[in-house]
Structure 1
Amino acid sequence: MANWTNWSGSVRAEPAQLAQPKSLAELQDLVRGAGKVRVVGAGHSFTPLCETDGLLLNLSELEGELVVAPDRKTVTAPAGWSLKRLTRAMWDEGLSLPNQGDVNPQSLAGAIGTGTHGTGRDLGSLSTLVQGVRSVAADGSVVEASRAQNPDLFQGQRLSLGLFGVITAATIDVLPAYRLEERVEKKPLAWVYENFDDLAQRHRHAEFFVFPYADEAIVKTLHPIEAEDTPRGKPSNEEDIFRFCCDMTRAFPFLAGPIQRFMTGASGDVHKVGPAYRIFPSTRNVRFEEMEYELPREAGLPALKAAIAWIRKGRRPVAFPFEFRWAAGDDIWISPFNKGPGASISMHQYAKMPWREVFAAAEPIFRSHGGRPHWGKRHFLSRADVDALYPAVERFRAARRATDPGGKFLNPHLAELFS
């Protein structure tokens, strides 16, 4: 038995075998011979998607290379590559992803398979970029899927939670390489509430972070620009300061308000320009747990205001800020954005502090505003909840059964929702 834990340390597994195949033939043999199979990337999912007592695969060393289409509008990339590795390789080819989230260690397959997204009024999740996939099925065979070839498998694989086979390569939309200008500045929270719509329309990417006990927010915008790169500064000690403040909040919960107002006030403005692949990601070393809900766009700010009021009224010890952003709608079967343009609220808690109870108690606030959770972030949905929230879920389940009738790629968490 091997031991495995996710990034935050809250999900643990003892797989019978932990394998890192280097060739396609080796991967096929492993999958064909296993009773249960799950795949892990960076372990950045907070739900138990990767839990298994069977075979746990990591594809970061699997053979493969980046292939640029003749028209340069798509690339086919190894699905086990991290977004960091992928975007650097694409930059060397004069290409960029249309969008990214704010961390980049996740594997391409993991980001696609959970519906990971960045921010942008008119930009969808990474799942919406997918034009084709190559995967290893339960019997070890290699299967290609696109809108024209195996369309049900393709639709399932666009956001699959790893239930439709082991993706080895994905063909995704790309753009000519571009640079981004990043600006980060403090604003009164009331001003942000009033002006976020305008910010999101004027900038390709706009989001803000707000501690639940602070009256100012940290606003971040990114916008394509043709300009010289700003010099790369010395490593910041902000993460160390933030970790210290989280430890203080854990030790003295009643100080949460003053600590958060101090952290917001001490936050400095940022202005920098650089390659998109380098500007999108931020440093995230302080471990946390996360619950994220995607809501109808018009319900986003009311839900955030309600959640902050609930924390303040109950004087609940929450050490991390909320993150608020927009994303475009899509047509993917179990995507939380498939009802139209969305607002995304990420609620975090320091990993060393109790999180389960506060998340479970906060979830009804987001649900009451029409929210649906990000599949890789903490949620407490039942099968009946999934049925009620996702009208297309039976198509997803039927396609899963057709692809994997023996349930090789299920684990207990996923079987409860999708078997």
Structure 2
Amino acid sequence: MGKFDKATLDGRLKKISKYNVKIYNWAKTSYNTSELYFEPESEDDIKKIIELAKRNKKNIRAIGMVHSPSDLPFSDGYIISMNKLNRVIKVDLEKKTVTVEAGIKITQLNEELSKHGLALSNLCSISDLTIGGVISTATHGTGVNFGCLSTQIKCLTLLTDSHGKMNCSETMNSDVFKAALCNLGALGIITQVTIQCETAYLLEANQIPAKLNYILDNLDAIVHSAEHVRFWWFPHTDDCITWKANRSNKRPLPQKLSYIHDTLFGFHLHQLVLYLSRFRSSTVPKINQLIFSFKFSKPIHFIDDSYKVFCFDCLFSQYVNEWAIPIEKAKYAIKDLKRWIETNEISAHCPVEIRFVDQDDIWLSPAYGRKVCYIGIIMYRPYFQPVPYRKYWAGYESIMRSYDGRPHWAKAHTMFRSELEKVYPKFQSFIELQKQLDPTGLFLNPYLRRHLFGENVDVKNPKAKL
């Protein structure tokens, strides 16, 4: 890619731009080299960048922390980093709402809310994400009566190509609002959101070992036994961990972490043995047993601020895949996955994470119109080294498809337009709206062209395909 002549930019854009910036996602499974990379500090800056992109016929994408384990964030045209648009604009204590810029990280948002005695009603596991990215992909936490994080949004501001600045809510531009709450960056750039919060609260969490058959035989009761429930299954074993959390008025009892237990073993030794297993994959079942026995075989109980309980360390680089299926089909899908792994001699890393999310009416949300169970699989990339995963992924996705599954948009998957329009009732409405708001495809990128429009566009992967 040739060097861009920055002399053609006005003074402000010159100050906030770089050229030919190479960006990797967090896991380093995809990368991007943009012609121009911008770090705007205001909505006006973004408007200028959009006008420049239109004038030069370039595609444009807004990015946050680039945590998505796919090429969803990337563009071969212009990239806008939202990280400097991270301000809290307004806190309304009476309505318990907060208005923030879309580049604010969940970690910062949690801290700011805590200062005002507020908290989010539910959170995803990873806090190193921007609120704009979380909304754009319908990122979720767990709790059968709690929707994805986008359901907590009261209103948002969207900068579009054809309609300029749009303020959207349930009562204003309502169709755009329902589409924008999981818009994949295809409609424009979200610059500001207002979030419905609640009074700050403590969560009491209990993490208890259990057997897979027991959980599946009692799944409905377990799912409804606490406000927030998830469990992890360790492939090649019958071992699981159930995690339950409820709001509590008890005194705080923070979780005690140990360097030897949680860092030396839980991170460094874990990564080392997975690296060595690249040369002898038959050791993976033993590794899974070891990880469970040493780190998770004893109950854990703690009480802390909600955001400290919801979030946890996702360790190191990984390939991940996660689909949502109707909740009533969960136990059958998990049994099929276990059987398939055993039959096909797959060396599957631990854990398989199972979470539960309430239905919503967001057009492209995997939970549109139904309560869902998210089943997430993982293959770690120790020291950023590749591991075989494609056979595992293909078998897993086949099972998820057989149970009417919908993939998590931020994660790499193989569902394309011909299938998406069958599993999403509002898919065609979304495409029509996208064409209205972005008639020239200004905000499209390879991921969107590949998945939403059926074009043959490759993923830029820095490692060989395994």
- Could you list the runs of 5+ residues in structure 1 that have no partner in the other structure? none
Q: Which residue of 2 aligns with 1:278?
A: 308
- Mapped to 1, the partners of 2:355 and 2:399 lie a distance apart of 18
Q: Which moved more, 1:268-277 or 1:239-248?
A: 239-248
Q: Which residue of 2 aligns with 1:191?
A: 214
- Deviation for aligned residue 1:80: 0.6
Give CA-to-partner distance per residue, 1:57-104, whole Å, 9 cap, x none. Answer: 111112632412353332212111111111111111111111011110
Q: Which residue of 1 aligns with 2:288?
A: 260
Give CA-to-partner distance per residue, 1:260-289, whole Å, 9 cap, x none. Answer: 112112224321111111111101222111
Find out whether 1:31 has 2:50 as its counterpart.
yes
SS of residue paired to 2:21: coil
- Mapped to 2, the partners of 1:369 and 1:156 lie a distance apart of 25
Q: Which residue of 2 aligns with 1:115?
A: 138
Q: Which residue of 2 aligns with 1:126?
A: 149
- Mapped to 1, the partners of 2:315 and 2:235 lie a distance apart of 21
- Mapped to 2, the partners of 1:379 and 1:56 lie a distance apart of 23
2:409 to 367, 370, 375: 375
- Mapped to 1, the partners of 2:206 and 2:389 lie a distance apart of 31
Give the counterpart letter for 2:132 in structure 1: A
- Deviation for aligned residue 1:230: 1.9
SS of residue paired to 2:224: helix
Q: Which residue of 1 aligns with 2:31?
A: 12
- Could you list the runs of 5+ residues in structure 2 that have no partner in the other structure? 1-19, 454-466
- Deviation for aligned residue 1:146: 1.4
Contact persistence 1:156–1:400 (CA under 8 A):
no
- Deviation for aligned residue 1:105: 0.6
Aligned residues: 419
Contact persistence 1:249–1:317 (CA under 8 A):
no
Give CA-to-partner distance per residue, 1:131-155, whole Å, 9 cap, x none. Answer: 2111222369432111222222212
- Deviation for aligned residue 1:375: 0.6
Q: Which residue of 2 aligns with 1:317?
A: 347
SS of residue paired to 2:285: helix
The equivalences for 1:367-406 within 5 A come to: 367-406=401-440
Q: Which residue of 1 aligns with 2:250?
A: 227
Give the counterpart letter for 1:25 in structure 2: D
Q: Which residue of 2 aligns with 1:213?
A: 236
Give the counterpart letter for 1:36 in structure 2: N
1:409 to 434, 443, 465: 443
Contact persistence 2:232–2:241 (CA under 8 A):
yes
- Deviation for aligned residue 1:168: 0.9
- Mapped to 2, the partners of 1:156 and 1:183 lie a distance apart of 36
Larger Rg: 2
- Deviation for aligned residue 1:371: 0.9
- Mapped to 2, the partners of 1:23 and 1:43 lie a distance apart of 20
Q: TM-score, normalised by structure 2?
A: 0.86
- Deviation for aligned residue 1:251: 2.5
Find out whether 1:167 has 2:195 as its counterpart.
no
SS of residue paired to 1:16: strand
- Mapped to 2, the partners of 1:239 and 1:104 lie a distance apart of 18
- Mapped to 2, the partners of 1:329 and 1:180 lie a distance apart of 23
Give the counterpart letter for 2:347 in structure 1: P
2:68 to 42, 45, 55: 45
- Deviation for aligned residue 1:240: 2.0
Contact persistence 1:322–1:346 (CA under 8 A):
yes
Contact persistence 1:23–1:63 (CA under 8 A):
no
Give CA-to-partner distance per residue, 1:327-384, whole Å, 9 cap, x none. Answer: 1011111111113111110011112312233212321111101111111112101210
Contact persistence 1:188–1:216 (CA under 8 A):
yes
User: Percent of pairs identical after alignment?
Assistant: 26
- Mapped to 1, the partners of 2:450 and 2:117 lie a distance apart of 44
2:366 to 325, 329, 336: 336
- Mapped to 1, the partners of 2:397 and 2:278 lie a distance apart of 22
- Mapped to 1, the partners of 2:344 and 2:41 lie a distance apart of 52
Identify if the C-alpha distance between structure 1 residues 14 and 398 changes in structure 2 by more than 3 Å, giving closer, same or farther. Answer: same
Find out whether 1:304 has 2:334 as its counterpart.
yes
Identify if the C-alpha distance between structure 1 residues 140 and 147 changes in structure 2 by more than 3 Å, giving closer, same or farther. Answer: closer
